[in-house]
Chains A and B, each alone.
Chain A
Amino acid sequence: MTRRRRIVTGIVATPLVAFGVVVALVAAWLAGFSVPGVSAATWMTVTKNGTATYSPQHAEPVFFLVIGNDERAGVSGARGDALHLVGVNPVTNQATILNFPRDTALPIPGHGTDKVNAANVYGGPRLTADTIGQAVGVNIPYTVETNFDGFISLIDEMGGVDVDVPTRMVDKDSGSDFEPGPQRLSGERALAFSRDRKTFPTGDIARSTNQAILMIGALGQIQRETTTAASQFRAIAIAARHTHIDGIGLRELYDLYQLAMRIDPAQVRNVTVPLASGSGSNLRLTAAAEPLFADFRDDAVLQAN
């Protein structure tokens, strides 16, 4: 009788790339390019700051900023109310999300110290990236910005997003009404989950953490649902038709997608920057912020925090 040895080898190669969690939410589903002649809602805007191009040989950490603005019917100004700095280490495939509550007081280049969400009004995603990048001490080459309608459309196109709701949440202003536990949220419900701050004693701080939970959930979902190159091409193409991209090519987005596919969602660190009360609703970074930023900026991985 013949005994057979069975060797199974899975290779997930790819000239690696770099991105992070939002990269998953974004690069995966959102590529960009405004497409003339395509009459569809714009889900988001992807902007490149500077000229550096991510390539698979990249070994340095890559940072990008995810901005959810409050632009919607009756509200103009597009303040950056959801702000998440994502760092990805393309060597170790680890990612960290630093959440900046909207009332965090930071120096905004050319505008003095103000709430960080105002930077988006003053100078759009680039100035917001400069503001947060300056605070943390990193260069942020990519920003991804969405608004209420874009966020809902994006999540609905994905067929909803899987989220592990951490606690009972009820808030009529945001429309939040969730039992704790894993569940798939539609675009509307995902927006309610992301907006609810009144359920929590810590308000916007807890909300920021929840927004990152949603991004991590989306990353895992994208990884599970786009396992083949063909399905990834399809996701990128669909997203591209609904995204305005400034300065990034499809090839680079594909590379970033590949990096996002390698990040283990369960290992993504979700950290909200340490804050203390300040004047009015301006929240000041505490002394613990700088050691945190130093730990983060060298390799996008938190070793001491």
Chain B
Amino acid sequence: MSRFRIPRFAGALVLASTLVLGACSGGGGNDDASPTTTTRPAEVTGTATLGPITVERAGTAGDLNASDAQAVVDAVNAYLSAAVFTPIATGAAPTGLDSLFTPAAAAAVANTPDIADTGLPEPSGDATATIEPVPLTALTNADGQVVLVTATLVLHLEVPTDDGPMIIDRRGDLVYESVEGQWRVASYNLAVERQLPDPPAPTTTEVKK
């Protein structure tokens, strides 16, 4: 049996209205305000960890050191938080992606909404993603300097919703480049598969003449 769900924006309006009205009524004389209850956004989380490291050398030397490797994984986690977990949990559009991508890649992101999980059903509970350890492959130049690092992502996420579980699988490559000491996504090739729960059946009214 399907339940009627308040659209997310409508819920936000109701919540905002409640807060405003509550604030307006705060000038009254009753100091024994009853405790307020608010809807806590569901927590959607997951942590990528470092997998095996491979170095493809254009020259005879070159390695990806441990701190850079961890920094790339940290960047992967920052991307997942900003583009996947937070938008699912809050329903809000992703923010801060510009700082995670190179300028050229960021321009492409603006036209590719599938880089982030937005516009999906509201979670009814917490969820934790399963993320395989992230293998890194570094490309080093003839001088042994790291030019690019690719992080291969395999993520599986099951999020409870009022209409059943929502399943998201993301897999593919995020290619990182160091820009002023920060690892940023220079290009990506991601496949996203989403299995969405059924929407509630529409309510129909039969009219008889």
Which A positions have Cβ atoms within 8 angstroms of B?
2-16, 31, 33-38, 55-57, 228-230, 233-234, 236-237, 240-241, 249-251, 254, 258
Flag B28-61 by CB within 8 Å of A: 1 or 0 each.
0000000000000000000000000010111110
Complex formed: what's the CA distance from A2 to B59 in Å? 55
Our count of residue pairs bridging A and B at CB distance below 8 angstroms stands at 140
Flag B146-157 by CB within 8 Å of A: 1 or 0 each.
011010100000
Q: Assess the B148–A233 pair: CB atoms within 8 A.
A: yes
Complex formed: what's the CA distance from A237 to B62 in Å? 12
Q: Assess the B152–A228 pair: CB atoms within 8 A.
A: yes
A residues less than 8 Å from B191 (CB atoms): 8-11
Q: Assess the B150–A15 pair: CB atoms within 8 A.
A: no
B202 to nearest A CB, angstroms? Answer: 14
Complex formed: what's the CA distance from A157 to B116 in Å? 39
- Asked if B102 lies at the interface with its beta carbon under 8 angstroms from chain A, I say yes
Q: Assess the B104–A35 pair: CB atoms within 8 A.
A: no
Residues 115-158 of B contacting A (Cβ, < 8 Å): 115, 135, 137-142, 147-148, 150, 152
B residues less than 8 Å from A11 (CB atoms): 112, 114-115, 172, 188-192
Which B positions have Cβ atoms within 8 angstroms of A?
54, 56-60, 102, 104-105, 107-109, 112, 114-115, 135, 137-142, 147-148, 150, 152, 163-164, 172-173, 175, 177, 186-198
Contact partner of A13 (CB less than 8 A), chosen from B147, B150, B189, is B189
- Please give me the residue from chain B that is nearest to A243 by CB atom: B58
A13-B187, A35-B58, A258-B187 known; A57+B107 contact, CB < 8 A: yes
Contact partner of B187 (CB less than 8 A), chosen from A9, A14, A31, A37, is A14
Known: A36-B142, A230-B54. 17 other contacts (CB 8 A): A2-B163, A6-B194, A6-B195, A7-B193, A9-B194, A11-B112, A11-B114, A13-B187, A33-B141, A35-B58, A56-B104, A229-B189, A230-B137, A230-B152, A250-B58, A254-B139, A254-B148
A209 to nearest B CB, angstroms? Answer: 33
A15-B108, A35-B58, A229-B150 known; A240+B142 contact, CB < 8 A: yes
Q: Assess the A12–B139 pair: CB atoms within 8 A.
A: no
Closest 5 CB pairs of A and B: A15-B104, A240-B58, A14-B187, A229-B150, A237-B56
A15-B108, A35-B142 known; A6+B193 contact, CB < 8 A: yes
Complex formed: what's the CA distance from A49 to B193 in Å? 44
Q: Assess the A14–B189 pair: CB atoms within 8 A.
A: yes
Complex formed: what's the CA distance from A31 to B141 in Å? 10
B residues less than 8 Å from A38 (CB atoms): 59-60
A residues less than 8 Å from B142 (CB atoms): 33-36, 240, 250
B residues less than 8 Å from A258 (CB atoms): 187
B13 to nearest A CB, angstroms? Answer: 27
A residues less than 8 Å from B114 (CB atoms): 9, 11
Contact partner of B58 (CB less than 8 A), chosen from A5, A13, A15, A33, is A33
Q: Assess the B105–A13 pair: CB atoms within 8 A.
A: yes
Q: Assess the B60–A237 pair: CB atoms within 8 A.
A: no
Complex formed: what's the CA distance from A301 to B102 in Å? 30
Q: Assess the B150–A8 pair: CB atoms within 8 A.
A: no
Q: Assess the A250–B189 pair: CB atoms within 8 A.
A: no
A251 to nearest B CB, angstroms? Answer: 5
Q: Assess the A55–B104 pair: CB atoms within 8 A.
A: yes
A11-B192, A15-B102, A230-B54 known; A250+B139 contact, CB < 8 A: yes
A residues less than 8 Å from B195 (CB atoms): 4-7
Complex formed: what's the CA distance from A4 to B58 in Å? 47
**15 sample A-B contacts, Cβ–Cβ < 8 Å, listed by A number:** A5-B198, A7-B194, A13-B115, A13-B188, A31-B58, A35-B59, A38-B59, A228-B189, A230-B152, A236-B58, A237-B139, A240-B141, A240-B142, A250-B58, A250-B141
